[in-house]
Amino acid sequence: MLTVEGLEVAYGDLQVVWDVSFEVPEKSIVAILGPNGAGKTTTLLALMGLLQVKAGLATFKGGSLIGIPTHLMVERGLVMIPEERASFASLTVAENLELGAYTSRARPSLKRTLDEVYATFPRLAERRSQRAGTLSGGERQMLAIGKALMARPELLILDEPSLGLAPIVVEHIFEVIEEIRDRGVSVLMVEQHLEMALGVADHAYILEMGSIVADGTSSQLAADQRVQEAYLSL
């Protein structure tokens, strides 16, 4: 579904992503794991056209992504939830969700998707007329995911979905992510929280200092001596 080959990204003279390749097959969860500053978020932003790509290829459903404006990617079904959650503080929950279906791809099914989202997150239905800025961290993440679902994604990208959330909330969010995959949406997520991510991912890549250093199925990686030493002890 998504194939990335030899991606390189630089901020001015400072290159932070080197020759990164990975792929996300249909109906699966793929995780990119690695410590802070490994270049995970940079990779995602470049993929979404928010940072300039220095070199490399990226194709989504057979079409190239390089040089395409961000909003057109959303139109094609590639939807990303940034680390700082994607909702707008000054808009209400309902306004945020409706805005989520901004693309012409998603607009016709707005009502139906909205019901689905409210069914997945009853909490959001309760708070529909509240401004997003007044929500708790967990609720904001639910809203972010709900808003992304409103865009009817085929591939959902999440940047650090567990960041800053209580363990019980994280568990809920990961359950939802699996549910989304089971409904036929592919998921690409970036995580520092290795154990949690390996628990749900079908396949994972380890990114260090801007390069992929290991990859495999979750069980392979979880069993890998090096990975265990480097991360699981943390």
CB of 166 to other proteins, least distance (A): 24
CB of 156 to other proteins, least distance (A): 12
Is residue 31 a contact partner of residue 190, using CB atoms and an 8 Å limit? yes
Of the candidate spans 10-18, 173-181, 182-190, 205-213, the one that interacts with other proteins by CB under 8 A turns out to be 10-18
Q: Which amino acid is at 216?
A: G
Q: Does 55 bind other proteins (CB under 8 A)?
A: no
Is residue 103 left, alpha or beta, with left meaning phi > 0 and alpha meaning psi from -120 to 50?
Answer: beta
Residue 35 or 82 with smaller CB distance to other proteins: 82
CB of 90 to other proteins, least distance (A): 6
In this structure, how many other beta carbons lie within 10 angstroms of the beta carbon of residue 89? 12
Is residue 65 a contact partner of residue 13, using CB atoms and an 8 Å limit? no
Choosing from 25, 26, 37, 50, the residue that interacts with other proteins (CB under 8 A) is 50
Helix-then-strand count for the chain, H and E: 10, 10
Window 140-179: contact mask with other proteins (x via CB under 8 A):
-------x---x----------------------------
Q: Does 70 bind other proteins (CB under 8 A)?
A: yes
Q: Does 98 bind other proteins (CB under 8 A)?
A: yes
Joined tokens for residue 228: 């265990």
Report d(CA 74, CA 76) in Å as an integer: 5
- DSSP SS3 for 77: coil
Largest CA-CA distance found in the chain, in angstroms, rounded: 50
Residue 46 or 227 with smaller CB distance to other proteins: 46
Is residue 198 left, alpha or beta, with left meaning phi > 0 and alpha meaning psi from -120 to 50?
Answer: alpha
Residue 98 or 116 with smaller CB distance to other proteins: 98
Binding site for other proteins (CB under 8 A): 10-13, 48, 50-52, 54, 69-71, 74-75, 79-82, 86-91, 95, 98-100, 102-103, 106, 147, 151
